[in-house]
Amino acid sequence: MEPLVEIPRDQWPELRDLYRTHWPRVAEAYCFLDSQISCPRITNEFNINIYSPHGNIRNGTVAISVTEKYQIYIFPINDDLSAIENALLNTKLIDWNRRLIIVPSVKWSTLESLKRVCKQLDVNIKYDDDVLDYILDKNTRPYDISCPPNTYVGPLKPEHIDTIDKAWTFKSDTSFAYFKRLMENNLSYVLYSDKHEPIAWINIDECGSLSHLYCIESERNKGYGEFITKVALNDLLNKGRHVLVYTLGKNYKPQKMFVKMGFEPIGQVSWVFLSKHE
């Protein structure tokens, strides 16, 4: 019998709220589920299916997203990962033979469990553990902001997707399509010059997290990055959403900015990359 049982949408709020009881230790799971509940189109556009081991939501969450990328999200509710680990070992829903499987935002205990799974399934595992995450409470007061002179805010335009894609540190052969999908779902915020050129931008990803903050080099140190971040935050706060953000461990400047804005550090997570041994 398949151990990963899909959880119907009408149970997602109950599943999400289980994570609220362990706040903020499992805020990543809460925000991921809240994003799917708040934006049903995102779930469809990113082809996300949500499961729990044996259909019991108290066993935690495993989600699978198949687009240009193949991603698995693993969110235990507490430190007992036995049900999730056994489900991963025995499921037929996950294609472990994929060239690349990405597992975002993995806590240390989940990483250790995933290592055991990969060893038994003969899957190669690599990870970047230099990632910090922060949370902004939904009750934070929206920021009082106004556009800098000779600028305006708007959504990402199709003709500028390539600009944003090329600026991203982790650009890949799938990233252009990813940014296009975010644009089509109104998840991009761009500060434009009065000549209609993008100066700074930020996205909300499919997990409900701030992502891809960037300001062009010639316009830095003017507060544009902080401004466009606050634009996105105000939109989410006005919708009653907690907001998650990740930074690389040595990316000190945005870390200071997020703390100044009221974000609280949660801890350290890893981005995990799986591939079948040749």
Residue 168, SS3 per DSSP: coil
- 115 shares a domain with 21: yes
User: Per the confidence metrics, is the pTM higher than 0.85?
Assistant: yes
Where residue 21 falls among pLDDT bands split at 50, 70, 90? confident
Tell me what the pLDDT averaged over the chain comes to.
95
Q: What is the pLDDT of residue 169?
A: 86
CB of 205 closer than 8 Å to CB of 182: yes
- 119 shares a domain with 65: yes
Average pLDDT (184-191) is 95
Looking at the domain assignment, is residue 176 inside a domain?
Answer: yes
What are the tens digits of pLDDT across the range 102-129? 999 999 999 999 999 999 999 999 999 8
Residues whose CB is less than 8 angstroms from the CB of residue 85 and which lie 6 or more positions away in sequence, other chains included: 113, 116, 117
CA dist 10 and 13 (Å) reads: 7
| Number of domains composing the chain | 2
Q: What is the pLDDT of residue 30?
A: 97
Q: What is the pLDDT of residue 25?
A: 87
- 30 shares a domain with 128: yes
* pLDDT exceeds 80 at position 278: no
Percent of the chain with pLDDT over 70: 99
- 202 shares a domain with 85: no
CA dist 74 and 203 (Å) reads: 23
Q: What is the pLDDT of residue 236?
A: 97
- Provide the residue range defining the domain that includes 165: 151-241
- 128 shares a domain with 16: yes
Looking at the domain assignment, is residue 248 inside a domain?
Answer: no
Where residue 16 falls among pLDDT bands split at 50, 70, 90? very high
How far does the chain reach from its first CA to its final CA, in angstroms?
Answer: 29
Average pLDDT (163-178) is 91
CB of 61 closer than 8 Å to CB of 29: yes
Looking at the domain assignment, is residue 99 inside a domain?
Answer: yes
CA dist 174 and 165 (Å) reads: 10
Looking at the domain assignment, is residue 105 inside a domain?
Answer: yes
Looking at the domain assignment, is residue 111 inside a domain?
Answer: yes
Q: What is the pLDDT of residue 129?
A: 86
CA dist 39 and 24 (Å) reads: 22
**CATH code (residue 166):** 3.40.630.30
What are the tens digits of pLDDT across the range 93-108? 999 999 999 999 999 9
What tokens were used for 213?
């903050």
* pLDDT exceeds 70 at position 48: yes
